[in-house]
Structure 1
Amino acid sequence: MRPGDAAEGLPGRLVNQRPSWAPCAGAEGWTCASVKVPLDYGAPDGRTISVALVRRPARDEEGRLGSLLFNFGGPGVSGVGLLPRAAAEYEKLNSRYDLVGFDPRGVAASSGVVCRDDEGMEAAAERVDLTPDTAAEEAAYFADARDFGRGCERRSGELLAHVGTANAARDMDLLRHVLGDRRLNYFGISYGTQLGGMYAHLFPGNVGRMVLDAVVDPTADTVGHARNQAAGFQRALDNYLTSRGEDPQRGTARIAALLARIDREPLPAGDGRELNQSLALTGIVLPLYSQSMWPDLTAALDEAEGRGRGAKLLALADSYNDRAPDGSYGTQSHSQRAISCVDDAQRPTPAEAKALLPEFKRISEVFGPFLAWDTAGWCADWPVPGEHETPKASAKGAGPILVVGTTGDPATPYEGARRMADELGEDVGILLTNKGEGHGGYTPSNGCVTSIVDDYLLEGEVPEDGGTCG
């Protein structure tokens, strides 16, 4: 143990534990375990919770570099569930690293937060307008937000105040310690970049080789993050429309008009279900995350506009909302909201959100209204306070951290990568610009980004700051 370890000051029952690995159900070649962490790092001798892990050992035992910990974002995505499914993308890294995924506190197998049942999720999807137009719709929107938060508090209790990113970063350092790694090697994607930035801020001396891809802007507060996303999704929509040979301004107006028609009269979608405006917007959002899904967006819009049916857009919305064909829902969105609201101290009021509408509509007629209302609705009357106005990421003293930003990224716009590299500090944040589309640059189809990232992680080759792919 050395200064700066999360393990410092913790009781021996936590510091000296070693994971008991056993075969994972349904994931051949992977082993699973759990590690105890303090519920409250301010009271380390008190209650503990378990953090779930999954691992596949490095193939080259002699050349092994240690563990490579992954976080795939959300927040709320289960690393235990996703890493074995995504591992084909990391085969080269698995040659010298143990691939390790985890469910952060409050997620899935790590005391996952659950706020309402499937019936409640379905009712909200069907009845709550996420872009309210009347006083009655506004009242219903905020009443549902309050009900969601109360459900989290009722079902999660004391845990709810302790699921923030800072505590998850402390957990990562304890995981590093019990896994036997001197420094943390880490691959964070989307929200995983916020978590990685927080780790580097809290434990700069423990940073090993760290990659942050699809980067959350660490300088943005609640409103700033929403503003960034409005611009990012509109930029992606413009690029999609341009790829079809359609003028982006006219295409955006066409889609906005379609959403307005659906708001007045939902579209039939089969099996007794309807496509309302909120679900239609969600269905448009999902395929903008990946250029490979743009044909799905075209087919869904053609069906809605040409045939007056919403089945394809509804299927896309169901996928985004983690809704199974039997009507059951996953809980990633519950964890996402709980973590985000514990992180964020800013609490815009309904009146303040409403005042943002003109500006946000100018940014994006399609996405702006939803994101403006969301600034107040997401954490409305949340039962526990937020921890900070903006994420922490300054990491003076850390080694070089590779920051990958994609110019067409809709959810974490490219500008956030520049700001993350700056916030990490001089000679720490190394920016790699990927000129392309989609959420994240490290993909099997992007040989340039994957080659640079692999050389950095496997050989320690730090690329020149400001490099470009594409």
Structure 2
Amino acid sequence: MPSQPQPRARALAAATLLLSATLAACGGSDSEDEDLSAQKLKWKDCPAPAASEGGGEAPSPLPGGGEWQCATMKAPLDWTKPKGGTIDIALIKATASGDKSDRVGSLVFNFGGPGGSGITTLPAFGSDYANLRTRYDLVSFDPRGVGRSAGIECEDDEQLDTYFQQDSTPDDDAEKKKLVDSVKAFNSACDKNSGKTLPHVRTTDTARDMDLMRQVLGDDKLHYFGISYGTELGGIYAHLFPKKVGRAVFDAVVDPTQTSEEGSLGQARGFQLALDNFAKDCTSKAADCPVGDTEKDVKDRIAQFLEDLDSKPVAGLPPRELTQTAATNGIAQALYSKDFWPYLTQGLEEAYDGDGRILMSLSDAMNGRDEDGKYNNLQAANVSINCADDKARYAPRYVEEKLPAFRKASPLFGDYLAWGMLACTDWAVEGQADHPDVGAAGAPPIVVIGNTGDPATPYEGARKMAEALGKGVGVELTYKGEGHGAYDSKNKCVREAVDGYLLDGEVPKTGTVCS
């Protein structure tokens, strides 16, 4: 259905690129006699990102010198039949900048989603990890189902424009039927266009790809930096391969103990908290807040504006109008980072005067749409991976029964996130489990960072992940801040703790608090 923020939220690279502008199929090889762990990667200059990865220019050289290089790794399509056909997994790397004698190994990143392209995201944030690059090759990848790694295809660009503009919070039976029919049509298109791949995009499959990647990169241990959904992927890897875990950091942590319903409800609370903090920040400044006189006034005006949009959209990015769904989506996108709060303020101020372009740009970033109207496969992959992972399938009547609880959690985002639970209705592949198993007895310490103001992966998830990893494994660190994630906030305390661990093996004291 229209893009809802998921418990495993994507990184902000797409939004950053789009706002600045506005203000691989399955291989047919047969690997019966092929030892995939012995394959040699052929690194070469990176091409421009594929349309499914978001398009754009080839990655720029790294600050201070050094080039991004790309390669393709072959992995089994079906890990239960590892000698069968293969798929291509696209990789990107920046070689360590320091002395070779100080090199620890490769540091593999996953930036979340699920559905985010590591091929585009790592270069976009590469300068943030310059210190880590002194002792590591920085490596990321398009997980299976994403971008050039057997990317999932569902509906075309024109169909997606309609899909993401529709009313995702139905008020009557006719609107409810239209929404349900639209979700079924989208899911049917995924099956029609990517049916061979859909059963094989589970996070457990990607975790096995990462262990193959570890071997192909020549590392005895997997050193790993997971953000958002990447923390769940890292937890599953640690569960499957506890003895192969090296130094690992989980930032913006998914609660592995929750069902998808519990995750959505927790996220409703998280986005409401972020909205409350935005309203408080705006109205506490010396200059007048242009979107409200008090915290309550800010939120009341937003709620009234969204209610008005339900029947009367305003001008957006021509020829599209800013609908209630697009505006809610855009507001949610801006709450992922405090750096985006000024855009949200300006976007709301202009939308109240009938100009919805900024809010629509934010919504487009969430949905993976560029300024030329082309969609990457972020949302197709997001739905496909979530539905392959999560066993739950929710019916419209069940959602209606849960609406009061969601509205209590968030008057603004409750309906939006509750109806988002329909995303896996009539999905072609059975979901794997109610929630992932991340127990990793025998693994070394994993640093788990929770951000008290995180809207997408609420703070409580870090403690739950640390506990689920097991005694002596999960080392919890708290960041008292805003936005989705802690390391990229550039907070000195967080940076020193993470860098000290990854670079020098200094495990921070569990319970450390940074502010």
**TM-score w.r.t. structure 1 length?**
0.95
Instruction: Give distance in 1, aligned partners of 2:302 and 2:46.
Output: 45
Cα RMSD over matched residues? Answer: 1.4
Partner of 2:9: none
Matches within 5 A, 1:11-410: 12-25=34-47, 26-27=58-59, 28=61, 29-59=67-97, 60-126=99-165, 128-245=166-283, 247-269=294-316, 271-305=318-352, 307-375=353-421, 377-410=422-455
Partner of 1:7: none
Cα offsets for 1:287-312 (capped at 9, x unmatched): 1111111111111111222x133222
Instruction: Give distance in 2, aligned partners of 1:425 and 1:30.
Output: 37
Partner of 2:288: none
Counterpart AA for 2:274: A
Would you say the 8 A contact 1:11–1:44 is kept in 2? Answer: no
Would you say the 8 A contact 1:279–1:317 is kept in 2? Answer: yes
Partner of 1:5: none
- Could you tell me how far 1:12 is from its partner in structure 2? 4.4
Does the alignment pair 1:443 with 2:488?
Answer: yes
Counterpart AA for 1:391: P
User: Any idea what SS the aligned residue of 1:111 has?
Assistant: coil
User: Any idea what SS the aligned residue of 1:187 has?
Assistant: strand
Would you say the 8 A contact 2:34–2:83 is kept in 1? Answer: no
Instruction: Give distance in 2, aligned partners of 1:348 and 1:270.
Output: 33
- Could you tell me how far 1:269 is from its partner in structure 2? 2.4
- Could you tell me how far 1:136 is from its partner in structure 2? 1.2
Cα offsets for 1:234-289 (capped at 9, x unmatched): 00000111112265444333321111011021112253321110001011111111
User: Any idea what SS the aligned residue of 1:294 has?
Assistant: helix
Cα offsets for 1:89-146 (capped at 9, x unmatched): 00011111011111111110101101111011012123x2111111111111111111
Counterpart AA for 1:140: K
Cα offsets for 1:415-446 (capped at 9, x unmatched): 11110011111110000000000000002631
User: Any idea what SS the aligned residue of 1:302 has?
Assistant: helix
* Aligned residues with identical type, % of pairs: 48
Would you say the 8 A contact 1:448–1:469 is kept in 2? Answer: yes
Counterpart AA for 1:411: A
Instruction: Give distance in 2, aligned partners of 1:343 and 1:108.
Output: 19
**Higher alpha-carbon deviation: 269-278 or 141-150:** 269-278
How many equivalent residue pairs? 459
- Could you tell me how far 1:147 is from its partner in structure 2? 1.1
- Could you tell me how far 1:466 is from its partner in structure 2? 0.6
- Could you tell me how far 1:39 is from its partner in structure 2? 1.0
Counterpart AA for 1:368: G
Instruction: Give distance in 1, aligned partners of 2:491 and 2:419.
Output: 36
Instruction: Give distance in 1, aligned partners of 2:224 and 2:33.
Output: 26
Gaps of 5+ in 2: 1-31, 48-57, 62-66, 284-292
Would you say the 8 A contact 1:232–1:408 is kept in 2? Answer: yes
Counterpart AA for 1:65: V
Would you say the 8 A contact 1:89–1:444 is kept in 2? Answer: no
Instruction: Give distance in 1, aligned partners of 2:360 and 2:148.
Output: 29
Cα offsets for 1:367-401 (capped at 9, x unmatched): 000111111x2111000000010122111110000
Would you say the 8 A contact 1:407–1:414 is kept in 2? Answer: yes
**Higher alpha-carbon deviation: 282-291 or 15-24:** 15-24
Please, which of 469, 473, 477 is the counterpart of residue 432 of structure 1? 477
Instruction: Give distance in 1, aligned partners of 2:489 and 2:300.
Output: 35
**Higher alpha-carbon deviation: 319-328 or 188-197:** 319-328
**TM-score w.r.t. structure 2 length?**
0.87
- Could you tell me how far 1:13 is from its partner in structure 2? 2.6
Instruction: Give distance in 2, aligned partners of 1:175 and 1:270.
Output: 42
Counterpart AA for 1:427: G
User: Any idea what SS the aligned residue of 1:272 has?
Assistant: coil
Would you say the 8 A contact 2:91–2:119 is kept in 1? Answer: yes
- The change in CA–CA distance for 1:163 and 1:270 in structure 2 (over 3 A counts) is closer
Aligned structure 1 segments of 4 or more residues deviating by more than 6 angstroms: none
